[in-house]
Structure formats: C-alpha cells, structure tokens
Amino acid sequence: MKQAGQVDPEPIQRILEKHKREIRMGLKVCAHCSLCAESCFIYAASKNPRHMPSYKFIHSIGRLQRKNARVSRAEMEKIRDMVWYDCVLCTRCYCPFGINIPSLIAMARQACRTQGLSREYEKDPIRPATDGNS
C-alpha cells in the first residue's frame, strides 16, 4: 500500500480555486441523467454505475470541492483509483449538456499528483478497473 501520511490540502485548494468556476458549473449543470454512461468503454465493459463518467467526476473533483480538499489519505487513494484506474482519460465521454467531463477528471488527476498519487505503471501494469467497493 501507499505510505501512511496525511493529505496536504493546500496544493489541492489552489487547484480548486483556479478552476472553481468550471467545477461548480459542472456540478450544478449535471442533471444526474446517466446518459453519459454508455459513452465510457470502461462502463460498457463492467456495467458498474461507479464507472459512469458523471459518477467519476462527481465523486472525485466534486468531492474534493465539497470538502475543500479536507479528505483523508484513504479517500484520496479512492479518488486516485477512480481517476487513474477507472478512467484512462480517452476523452470520449459524452454529456448531453456539454459538460467537459475529461477536463474535470484531469483536475482530479492533478489534485492526486500533488499528493504523490497516480497510476503506478511499473508496479501495476495491468490492474483491472476497480469494483469501486473497496
């Protein structure tokens, strides 16, 4: 597992502050319609609602925004799994309203990187998508 440690909220807060308009807009506009689901190939393979693009951005960057980056290391690792393993940022997700979901997921990835969290290709080259329940 990752080394034990605390999450340093400050660099994440800077990202949240820089992109606050786009994040708030995305969260506000998302009608929770789930029509984006079929556009995600990871969802198409798993049929797991946690792999829907909307679910991924709401529970990654959306969660960080709501909690103003005050999350535990375990939560941050969950977000890492969501945006690095359950999403490959292929940018094929489709939102009927035109929310730029890849942009929001990329912000969550940035937030993860500030905590030294990202995909560990050398250790985990072919880890399957998580079931999201761990």
Partner 1 sequence: MALFEQLLHILQGPMVWIALGVFAAGLVVQSLRLWSYTRKNNPHTIGFAANPRIGEKNSRARRWVRRSGAIKTTALGASPVVTGVSIIFHIFLFITPLFLMGHNVLIHTATGIRLPSFSEPVSDVCTLTVLVCGLFFLLRRLLSRNVRALTSAYDLFLLLLVMLPFASGFLARHHLLIDYRQMILLHMAAGELMLIMIPFSKFFHMIFFFFGRFCIVSEYSLAAPKRIWQFHSRGAKQ
Q: Using CB under 8 A as the criterion, which residues of the chain lie in contact with partner 1 when the complex forms?
A: 18-19, 21-22, 25, 28-39, 49-50, 52, 54-55, 58, 91, 94-100
Q: Which is nearer to partner 1, 76 or 95 (CB)?
A: 95
**Complex with partner 1: residue 34 or 72, whichever CB lies closer:** 34
Closest approach, Cβ 24 to partner 1, in A, equals 10
Please write down the HEC assignment for all residues of the chain.
Answer: CCCCCCCCHHHHHHHHHHCHHHHHHHHHHCCCCCCCHHHCHHHHHHCCHHHCHHHHHHCCHHHHHHCCCCCCHHHHHHHHHHHHHCCCCCCCCCCCCCCCHHHHHHHHHHHHHHCCCCCCCCCCCCCCCCCCCC
Nearer to partner 1, 98 or 125 (CB): 98
Whole-angstrom distance, CA of residue 77 vs CA of residue 97: 30
**CA 1/CA 35 separation, integer angstroms:** 35
In the complex, minimum distance from the CB of residue 79 to partner 1, in angstroms, rounded to a whole number: 17
Supply the minimum distance, in Å, between the C-beta of residue 18 and partner 1.
7
Judged by beta carbon, residue 22 or residue 75, the one nearer partner 1 is: 22
To the nearest whole angstrom, how small is the minimum distance from the Cβ of residue 30 to partner 1? 8
